[in-house]
Amino acid sequence: MTLSTDTHNNSFALRAKILHFTDQPDVHQRTGYEYFADGVLVVENGLIKQVGSAEELVKNGFDLAVCEHFPEHLIMPGFIDSHIHYPQTNVIASYGEQLMDWLNQYTFPAELQYSDKDFALKAAEQFIQLMLENGTTTAMVYTTVFAQSTEAFFEVAQKYGLRMIAGKVMMDRNAPDGLLDTVETARQDSQNLIDKWHGKDRLSYALTPRFAPTSTPEQLAMVGELYQANPSVYMQTHLSENIQEMEFIKQLFPEAKDYLDVYDEYDLLGQRSVFGHGIHLSDDEINRLAETDSQIAFCPTSNLFLGSGLLDLARLEDAGVTVSVATDIGGGTSFSLLRTLAEAYKILQLQGQSLHPLKALYMATLGNAKALQLDDKIGNFTQGKEADFSLINLSPTQIQKSRQQQASKLDETLFALMMLGDEHNIERTYSMGKMVYSCHSCASQE
pLDDT tens, residue by residue, 273-314: 999 999 999 999 999 999 999 999 999 999 999 999 999 999
Residues of the chain with CATH 2.30.40.10: 11-78+380-438
Q: Cβ–Cβ contacts within 10 Å for residue 85, how many?
A: 26
Burial of 346 (0-12, 13-18, 19+ CB in 10 A): middle
Instruction: Give dist(CA 197, CA 251) in Å, integer.
Output: 37
Handedness of CA 93, 98, 99, 102 (dihedral sign): negative
pLDDT in tens, 327-342: 999 899 999 999 999 9
The half-sphere exposure of 367 on its side-chain side, counting CA atoms within 13 A, is 23
The CATH number of domain 11-78+380-438 is 2.102.10.10: no
Q: Quick one: which of 136, 133, 146 has its CA closest to 84? A: 136
Q: pLDDT tens across 373-389, in order?
A: 999 999 999 999 999 99
Between 3.40.50.1370, 3.60.20.10, 3.20.20.140, 3.40.50.300, what CATH number should domain 79-335 receive? 3.20.20.140
Q: Give the 3-state secondary structure of residue 393.
A: strand
Strands 136-142 and 79-85: parallel
Q: Which of 421, 422, 404 is nearest to 413 (CA)?
A: 404
The one-letter amino acid at 375: D
Is there a contact between 353 and 345 (Cβ–Cβ < 8 Å)? no
How many beta carbons lie within 10 A of that of residue 378, not counting itself? Answer: 27
- Would you call 79 helix, strand, or coil by DSSP? strand
Digit-coded pLDDT (tens) for 150-208: 999 999 999 999 999 999 999 999 998 999 999 999 999 999 999 999 999 999 999 99
DSSP H or E segment with residue 346: helix 337-349
Summarize the confidence of residues 361-368 as an average pLDDT.
Answer: 98
How far apart CA 219 and CA 241 sit, in angstroms, is 21
The confidence score (pLDDT) of residue 436 equals 97
pTM value? 0.95
CATH 3.20.20.140 location in the chain? 79-335
pLDDT tens for 216-252 read 999 999 999 999 999 999 999 999 999 989 999 999 9
Mean pLDDT of all residues in the chain? Answer: 94
